[in-house]
Amino acid sequence: MQKFNSIMNLNLLLFLLVELNMGIGLLRGSYSKNMHMIRAWMVFSTFAAFIFPSCTVTDWIIGDNSEIGAFEIVSSVIGMFAEVLIVWIVGIHKKDIGVLIGRNS
C-alpha cells in the first residue's frame, strides 16, 4: 500500500510541474496573442480537470479508505468545476483575441 501512495505522489508532482509549465505557456500565448498556445492550454486543462477527481476516487477505491474522506472527494469535484469554468473564461478570451487579430477561433 505504501508503494501505491509513493507512486501516486510522484505522479501528482510530475503532473503539477507540467501544469505549471502549461500555465506559463498560457501567459506567454495570451501576451503574444498566439492562438495555438492558448488552445493547447485549453485542451490540457480540460484533460486535467478530470484527472484530479479521478485520482482521488481511484485512491479511495484502491488505497486505504480511511485516508480519503468526503472532504477530499467533494473538494476535488469542486476543483473540477472550477477548472472547467476557468477553461470557459479562457475560451472567451481566446475569441476576443481572435476578433482583435482578425481570425476566427
So what's the pLDDT on residue 91?
93
So what's the pLDDT on residue 25?
94
In this predicted model, which residue has the larger pLDDT, 93 or 70? 93
Written as nine digits, the cell of 71 is 472532504
The fraction of the chain above a pLDDT of 90, given in percent, is 40
For the chain, the distance separating the N- and C-terminal CA atoms, rounded to the nearest angstrom, is: 47
Largest Cα–Cα distance of the chain, in whole Å?
55
Number of domains in the chain: 1
Expressed as residue numbers, the domain containing 91 is: 2-101
Task: Give me the amino acid identity at 50.
Answer: F
d(CA 16, CA 12): 6
Written as nine digits, the cell of 83 is 477548472
The fraction of the chain above a pLDDT of 70, given in percent, is 84
Mean pLDDT of 91-95: 92
So what's the pLDDT on residue 63?
67
So what's the pLDDT on residue 102?
80
